[in-house]
Amino acid sequence: MADQNMHDDAPNSLTDEQADALLDADEAEETIEEHGQEDDVAMDSGDEEADEEIDMDGPMEEIQLHNDSVAHFDQHRDSILCIAQHPTRPEMVATGGQDDMAYIWTATPADGPVLPTSYESNPQPQERRGQEILAKLEGQDESVNAICFTLPAGDCVATGTLAGKLSVYSTPTPSTPSRLLGSAKEVEEINWLAPCPHKYHPNTLAFGASDGSVWVYTINPQDPSSPLTIVQSFFLHQAPCTAGAWTPDGKMLATVAEDSSLYVWDVFGDAASVGLADPNGGQAVVSLTAADERFKVDGGLYSVAVSPGGGIVAVGGAGGNVRVVGLPRLSALPSNSSSRTSTASAKSGAGARNKAGGPKTTASTPAAAAGQAGQILAAVQAQTDGVETLDFSQPPLTLLAAGSVDGSITLFDAAHNFAVRRHIPDAHDEEAVIQVAFVKTALGTANPANYMLTSCGNDGVVRRWDTRGGTAAANKGLAAEWRGHRGGGDGGGIMGFVQGGGGARVVTAGDDGVGLVFAAEP
């Protein structure tokens, strides 16, 4: 009653006479009678044309927000095109984007462990902080299309742009910020970057270009006057070079191109030093092109992977085609194979082993198994569109995974003539599969999850598959999935991921401009 008295005593309140002057009681009664119960009209209803438009459009689509991530990085202002992970510090991730920027950031959740959230479980989830930027890799001249840390210790991080610029930066440490070491621009567009794992050639990388050329650089962070040195350049591809992969020992580099060619390069002369020379007088120990009808893939090749043992290389291309080719197996590195090999390395290398009674390496008795080198071991086709991604499992498994633009994943068994072990036609809901990768650790170390395969696609979902069992595996072996990207195939997919450190975390590069961190442990 106190509130009512306050309202009645207010100086701006209307008297009964003033209220009657504004609306006559008879008029109000007539209005109510005109719109009685039978003629009620909904307050949100419009004219007939508006009603017809709503009917034509159909029911409103319900949008369910779902985010399984435990952390995110949102500093990019456009699509994230590439992602890399530090080889010894898996919490350190580098991304490059269409916003002409690259960053190094930490994938450790900024707010500690955070449970995944969804709109259904928490309509108003607590806003969390984005991940910390460890370094801005500035000075890019176009979209950053490729990025990698160098091996073996991740001393440097390199970026490649769609304008052909290679830039190399020092990796930040708690006491030293990142700095630009040097840059080079030899091509119009860089398509990919791959760090070299050769133990005698640290901080070396390769890239492939839109003009078909392949370049290998070595980086010396201690030489400010000449930090980048060209090791080799190759020019046999006649179309854009689309992918490249080193052998596990880093002695050979396999590259493919849109002209359906495969070349395996003897970058450091290791093959030549054991008597394996290019029959054409060049530096390609394996040369296969579309001129060989058995190898030809109409539409070109777009993916390449080398087996963990280094004995075979698989390439994937248009129309779901996969070709498997034998590689030479090189013996111990001779001590004089490179002018960059240190005296200490040479003493502990092949020279010392030869003195201990190891086989001599001469041109007449090459210490390499060259019997199947360059031979086409398999030509298979289990998918209907381009094979964009390939990966081999680690021993003792003998699987090759292939992801296709048709949305499917196929597992081939390398131990049984690459027969199809499993085909998952709807792995990513009919959207292109962008990347497949087995969960891996350093060779020779325990890997209890080596049978797990991770994949991502244009549907914006990360999935993990249990590859044990045959084609009858329940639900095709789907073990887990993580959502959080927009999806939908148009600007909402996932352009790549990393899962170093045993696969406990998956970190993504989103076409929606966001990087997400998913906790993959149960």
Average confidence (pLDDT) over 199-212: 97
Q: 505-510 and 515-519: which strand pairing?
A: antiparallel
Beta bridge partners of 215: 207, 233
How far apart are the C-alpha atoms of 518 and 138, rounded to whole Å?
A: 27
> What is the C-alpha to C-alpha distance for residues 359 and 92, in angstroms, rounded to an integer?
43
Partners of 161 in the beta sheet?
A: 144
- What digits encode the pLDDT tens for the residues 290-301? 999 999 999 999
* Predicted confidence band of residue 173 (pLDDT cuts 50, 70, 90): very high
Distances (CA, A) of 72 to 90, 91, 200, 276, 410: 16, 13, 37, 49, 31
CATH number of 382-522: 2.130.10.10
Q: Which of 427, 435, 485, 431 is nearest to 455 (CA)?
A: 435
Structure tokens at 188: 């119009």
Residue 296 CB neighbour total at 10 angstroms: 17
Band the pLDDT of 233: cuts 50, 70, 90. very high
Of 252, 256, 254, 288, the residue nearest 273 (C-alpha)? 252
Q: What percent of the chain has pLDDT over 90?
A: 64
CA-CA distances (angstroms) from residue 221 to 138, 168, 262, 522? 18, 9, 32, 41
pLDDT of residue 306: 98
Position 118, amino acid: S
CA 458 to CA 431: how far, in whole Å?
A: 5
Q: Residues 314-341: what's their mean pLDDT?
A: 75
Does the pLDDT of residue 6 top 50, yes or no? no
**407-435 pLDDT, tens digit each:** 999 999 999 999 999 999 999 988 999 99
Which residue, chain included where needed, has tokens 């690259």? 102
Secondary structure element (H or E) that encloses residue 264, with its range: strand 262-265
Position 310, amino acid: G
Element (H, E) at 8: helix 2-8
Residue 313, helix vs strand vs coil = strand
Average pLDDT on 353-365 reads 33
Q: What is the mean pLDDT of the chain?
A: 82
**To 5 degrees, how large is the angle CA 395–CA 400–CA 402?**
150
Given this model, what pLDDT does residue 492 score?
A: 85
Distance CA 434, CA 122 (A): 31
Structure tokens at 506: 């998956």
pLDDT-derived band at 178, boundaries 50, 70, 90: very high
Q: What is the pLDDT of residue 390?
A: 98
